[in-house]
Amino acid sequence: MLTRWLFGLMLCCPIWQAMAIDWYVRDWPPFNMQQGPDAGQGSYDLMLGQLVAALPQYQHRQFFATLVKRQQLMQQDVPHCLFGVLKSKERQEKMLFSDIAFYSPALRLVALADHPLWQANNAGAAIELSTLLQQPWTGMVEYKRLYPSHIQQYTGKLLQVTDSSTDLVAMLKAGRADYVVEYPDRIHWLASQHPTVSLRYARLAGEAPVVPVYAACQKSAQAAEQIAAINTALQQLRRSPAYQQAWLHQLRDVSRQELQLQMARDPLFQTPAALSTNPVAQ
């Protein structure tokens, strides 16, 4: 009887709800890994685990949700939090965002290494997506994904696929698409299942090498307090070697180098002692 009463209290009591955080994650290797022997070992998984451990005052629950489901939760004003999301004007209307949690390598244009589009575009230069769309190539993006505005405006002209159930590298290999706009480490992980495929990556014009990534909570009576607690925890975590190691877990060497350079430049990721001796971060 007591157990049933406590369970009812958990469901209806505002105090309990204020002390609980529901995290929704997707299966998106190598960032979130929900299946197989590496389940829970994605870079976002490991960082979120450390954040949860740094917030013992909350009861944490973790749920799986597709990208579409996460957008539905946001539109339906269901209280929840996300870790590893980009900030946008549309999302800020519905969610409160933390301070920077970490950085991610920005989107890249990826195609087979021997694809003719590389001859049609300047080698080593950032590629203008608008220019590429005037050429006879088919590009891919993920359906319902948030993209920067200078990319979002062109997504209607690209093949839209469900990334979680579409092998993007297999699509390139089979010639069903000529290129994809995606995070390089996501493609690198997919390519590990196609050892004979050689890929080439290019920066997109208008995209910085890395972009800031955040935690976010749906606007609610508890959200401001939750974000404040998350920010307090992040102040310590960002400077923690364990957190920084988790951040770089399973990434390409090139991505690691880009992120380590950004770490050295950003005072948020430097200990006070390191700041006093690091001219790059000053």
pLDDT digits (tens, 9 = 90+) for 8-50: 444 444 444 558 999 999 999 999 999 889 999 999 999 999 9
Shared fold status for 18-105+209-271 and 108-203:
yes
Q: What is the pLDDT of residue 276?
A: 53
For residue 172 the two structure tokens come to: 């390139």
Give the mean model confidence (pLDDT) for residues 177-190.
96
Q: What is the pLDDT of residue 277?
A: 58
Which CATH code is given to the segment(s) 108-203? 3.40.190.10
Nearest to 146 by CA among 235, 68, 227, 259: 68
Q: What is the pLDDT of residue 274?
A: 57
Q: Residue 78 is which amino acid?
A: V
Check residues 164 and 178 and name the one with the higher pLDDT: 178
Local confidence band at 163 (pLDDT 50, 70, 90 cut-offs): low
**pLDDT tens per residue across span 233-264:** 999 999 999 999 999 999 999 999 999 999 99
Give the mean model confidence (pLDDT) for residues 199-224.
95
**pLDDT tens per residue across span 57-88:** 999 999 999 888 888 998 899 999 999 999 99
Query: How far does the chain reach from its first CA to its final CA, in angstroms?
Result: 61
> Buried b vs exposed e over 175-202: b needs ≥16 C-beta within 10 Å?
eebbbbbbbbbbbbbbbeeeeeeebbbb
Q: What is the pLDDT of residue 4?
A: 41
**pLDDT tens per residue across span 117-138:** 998 777 567 999 999 999 999 9
> What is the C-alpha radius of gyration for the chain, rounded to an integer number of angstroms?
20
Left if phi > 0, otherwise alpha if psi is -120 to 50, otherwise beta: which for 40? left
Q: Which CATH number fits domain 18-105+209-271: 3.40.190.10, 3.40.50.150, 3.30.930.10, 3.55.40.20?
A: 3.40.190.10
Sheet with 210-218, strands from edge to edge, namely 59-64, 20-25, 81-85, 210-218, 95-105
Share the mean pLDDT of the chain: 89
Q: What is the pLDDT of residue 279?
A: 54
Q: What is the pLDDT of residue 36?
A: 87
Per the omega criterion (within 30 degrees of 0), is the bond before 30 cis? yes
Lowest mean pLDDT among 117-126, 136-145, 176-185: 117-126
Domain parsing of the chain, residue ranges: 18-105+209-271, 108-203
Q: What is the pLDDT of residue 169?
A: 97
What percentage of the chain exceeds 70 in pLDDT? 88
